[in-house]
Amino acid sequence: MDGAMNFTIGFSEGVVWGWPIAAYLLLAGISGGAMIISIVTRHFKEEVENSPLTKAGSLIGFVTIAFGMVFLVGDLHKPLYFWKILINYNFHSVMSIGVIAISVYIPLTAVMFFYAFEKEILKYFGFLSFVAKLLRPLRPYVEFITLWFAIIICAYTGFLISVLVRFPLLNTALLPALFVVSGLSAGNAASGIIATKFFKEDMHSFDMKVLHRIEWPIMIAEILLVFMLAVSLVVGNEYQKHAFLAFTSNEFGLLFWGGVVGLSFLIPIIFNLLLGKFTSHSRAVYYFTALSVIAGVFCLRMFILYAGQTFGI
């Protein structure tokens, strides 16, 4: 900043990538996270029938990524030219790589949705039984590939913005990891809600216990990554130190301390650990904390995007 000569005017002011991108990042995270959790749980349980968790995971995985596309395309300045991205691939661009990943992932989630709801679909669309017969033997392979693409989808959203050298808060190697972990956290919460609310999963079933168990290591990893991110800035160079102000400024302090720390860390800890069995076993409290976690993950994406783009070099 004290160089011999510089300029400080820019041609694009303020936050260029706003809340629709944050919403997309959240939805992609939920989709990937829910997919990963349902596939891994199903695998280790050696599940034969489709459990409520499998149904919830497949439904969320498919619907959220499809809905995310609406935000992604809608945020373009020329949304009607979206097809250009599909014919002019630039393999040096994370966005192009992401688009390729998405165009594999969405059909995969659709097939996963078909597997999970095979009985229900065939009840109404009997003529699809030949598709079912064709797809059934492929299920383990499709699950395996989907698992990988779910991780790629979560991670690529991190790489997408971590290549932006102008913004120290974004340009860090931690971001993809943070997005995978927070995606798992939001996916976990969403799966739990949908499985118990719509697929009549028992609140104390084996699957729900698994979800509750993995909640904590995921949260600890998330806290660690956020902490590392903050430390990497505060001990960094002049630009990075400047970007650290994001955590303490009035503008973004509330978003971070209230949204990220409060909603996604403190509320689950208070209601599930500190207030004892009565609250932690209540259905209403479960929904409340799960929704709070999802809102917290959205706040994390908002904070990263908005604060990140505010504190440039």
Partner 1 sequence: MSNDGRRKFLKGIGLGSLVMSVGSYGVVANKPTTDKKSKHYAMIFDQNKCVGCTDCEIACAKVNKVPKGQFRMIIEDKTDPKKPRERRMVRVSCQQCVEAPCVQVCPSKACHRDNLTNIVTMNADDCIGCLYCIVACPYNVRFVNEETHAAENCNFCENTNLKEGKDPACIEACKYEAIVFGDLNDEKSKINRILKIKDSLRMKPELGTKPSLRYIPAVRLGV
Question: Can residue 105 be called a binding residue for partner 1 (CB under 8 A)?
Answer: no
48 binding partner 1? (CB under 8 A): no
CA distances to 136, 149, 256 from 304, in Å: 41, 23, 9
Structure tokens at 45: 């349980």
Let me know: does 190 contact 290? Beta carbons within 8 Å. Answer: yes
**What is residue 113's three-state secondary structure?**
helix
Q: Choose between 14 and 137: whose C-beta lies nearer to partner 1.
A: 14
Q: Is 155 an interacting residue with respect to partner 1 (CB under 8 A)?
A: yes
Sign of CA pseudo-dihedral 87, 91, 97, 100: positive
Distance between CA atoms of residues 1 and 9, nearest Å: 13
**Would you say 33 and 179 are in contact if contact means Cβ atoms under 8 Å apart?**
no
**Residue with Cβ nearer partner 1 (97 or 203):** 97
What letter represents residue 164's amino acid?
L
DSSP class of residue 136 equals: G
Point out which span in 25-33, 82-90, 220-228, 258-266 binds partner 1 (CB under 8 A): 82-90
- Please state, in angstroms and rounded to a whole number, the distance separating the CA atoms of residues 255 and 246: 10
How many Cα atoms occupy the beta-carbon half-sphere of 286 within 13 Å? 24
Build a one-symbol-per-residue string for 250-289: x at contacts with partner 1 by CB under 8 A, - elsewhere: ----------------------------------------
Q: Are 306 and 269 in contact (CB under 8 A)?
A: no
Closest by Cα among 260, 307, 312 to 26: 260
Going residue by residue from 120 to 149, which x/- string records binding to partner 1, judged by CB under 8 A? Answer: ------------------------x---x-
Q: Which residue stretch of 26-34, 74-82, 265-273, 284-292 sits at the interface with partner 1 (rule: CB under 8 A)?
A: 74-82
Interface with partner 1 (CB under 8 A), residue from 63, 70, 95, 122: 95
161 versus 294: smaller Cβ distance to partner 1: 161
Per-residue x/- track, 176-215, partner 1 (CB under 8 A):
x---------------------------------------
Binding stretches for partner 1 (CB under 8 A) = 3-12, 16-17, 43-44, 46, 75-79, 81-82, 84-85, 88-90, 92-97, 99, 144, 148, 151-152, 155-156, 159, 161, 163-167, 176, 309, 312-313
